[in-house]
């Protein structure tokens, strides 16, 4: 096991758990999604960078900056998101609720697929046209997460409202479960020990909107996920999500890397006080 390592991180790309960022720590993450197209679709590559800060033990705040590149079109910046997660209960329970609130200032060219909501209707507009259509959206989630022996089991219910257009309120879901390959440390300092690997799966998709709730014409994905803690501070993740409906991309390949700067808040405060 890596010496003094923290608790194993979630391998999820879409699903959230009840685990929060450590107070005063900053997690810098870069994530990418590659969409493999069906006939008539175009492949895309959508990266984003995320800054996650532990405000308190029960409040984590994150800022996202995102972009995308579609085959046959120029790369473009697609916007930003500000996310906050609040954990009402300080103690661990059988089911741990977390409240999620996110404000998005993006455009219609966004392809990071951080969540799947509403219906799956594909747009015939070009990336240049989509890039000119801006959207201010408000997204909320109810996150329920449990620890069962070595397993994490999480359920997310998503509600999203486009404040710029009259599209109704859109709904989505995400379910996930994972566990480490080994629950006990091997006693050796190595990167390849089984306890440094976490494996699991996610199922996520849209549930329509207030204009038509249900599974008709929605996208859904089933995704095996794996995380490898390569050092005390760094983790890499990989997922291959398989589309389950005609409205889905056949495959979404995802890759992520995160690095935690522990005590970031204290270090910044010391600089302002003029202390090394």
Chain centroid to CA 18: how far? Answer: 13
Q: Report whether 252 contacts 34 (CB < 8 A).
A: yes
Domain 26-272 has what CATH class?
A: mainly beta
Distance CA 236, CA 16 (A): 17
Residues 6+ apart with CB under 8 A from 259: 27, 28, 29, 233, 234
Write down the pLDDT at residue 52.
Answer: 98
Token representation of residue 154: 């999480």
Write down the pLDDT at residue 121.
Answer: 66
Distance CA 111, CA 98 (A): 26
Q: What's the angle, vertex CA 236, arms to CA 65 and CA 180, rounded to 5? A: 130
- Shortest CA distance to 73 belongs to which of 131, 132, 126, 113? 126
Distance CA 162, CA 136 (A): 6
Token representation of residue 159: 């509600």
Residue at token pair 């038509």: 212
How many other β-carbons are positioned within 10 Å of the β-carbon of residue 154?
Answer: 25
In order along its 276 residues, the chain shows pLDDT tens digits of: 554 444 568 999 999 999 999 999 999 999 999 999 887 788 999 999 999 999 999 999 999 999 999 998 889 999 999 999 999 999 999 999 999 999 999 999 999 999 999 998 656 678 888 888 899 999 999 999 999 999 999 999 999 999 988 889 999 999 999 999 988 766 667 888 899 999 999 999 999 999 999 999 999 999 999 999 999 999 999 999 999 999 999 999 999 999 999 999 888 878 877 655
Strand, coil or helix: 271: helix
Distance CA 191, CA 210 (A): 48
Q: Report whether 215 contacts 208 (CB < 8 A).
A: yes
DSSP letter string over 41-99?
A: ---EEEEEEEEEEEEETTEEEEEEEEEEEETTS--EEEEEEEEEEE-S-SS--SSEEEE
DSSP state of 10: P
Burial class (CB in 10 A: 0-12, 13-18, 19+), 193: middle
Strand partners, 108: none
- Shortest CA distance to 253 belongs to which of 44, 83, 48, 56? 44
Global pTM reads: 0.93
Tell me the chain's radius of gyration from C-alpha atoms: 19
Token representation of residue 261: 């700067």
């Amino acid at each position: 096991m890596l010496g003094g390592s923290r608790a194993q991180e979630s391998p999820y790309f879409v699903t959230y758990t009840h685990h929060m960022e450590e107070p005063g720590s900053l997690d810098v993450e870069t994530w990418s999604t590659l969409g493999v197209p069906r006939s008539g679709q175009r492949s895309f590559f959508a990266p984003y960078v995320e800054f996650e800060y532990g405000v308190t033990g029960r409040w984590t705040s994150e800022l996202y900056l995102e972009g995308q590149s579609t085959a046959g079109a120029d790369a473009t910046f697609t916007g930003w998101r500000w996310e906050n997660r609040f954990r009402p209960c300080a103690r661990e329970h059988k089911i741990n609720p977390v409240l999620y609130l996110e404000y998005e200032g993006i455009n219609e060219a966004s392809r990071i697929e951080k969540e799947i909501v509403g219906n799956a209707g594909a747009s015939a507009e070009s990336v240049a046209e989509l890039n000119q259509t801006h959207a201010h959206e408000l997204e909320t989630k109810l996150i329920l997460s449990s620890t069962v022996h070595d397993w994490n089991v999480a359920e997310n219910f998503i509600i999203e409202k486009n404040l710029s257009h009259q599209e109704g309120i859109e709904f989505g879901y995400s379910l996930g479960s994972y566990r480490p390959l080994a629950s006990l440390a091997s006693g050796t300092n190595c990167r390849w020990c089984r306890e440094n690997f976490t494996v699991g799966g996610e199922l996520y998709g849209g549930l329509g909107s207030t204009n038509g709730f249900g599974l008709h014409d929605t996208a859904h994905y089933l995704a095996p996920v794996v995380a490898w803690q390569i050092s005390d501070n760094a983790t890499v993740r990989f997922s291959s999500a398989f589309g389950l409906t005609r409205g889905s991309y056949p495959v979404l390949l995802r890759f992520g890397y995160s690095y935690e700067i522990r005590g970031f808040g204290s270090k910044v405060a010391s600089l302002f006080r003029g202390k090394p």
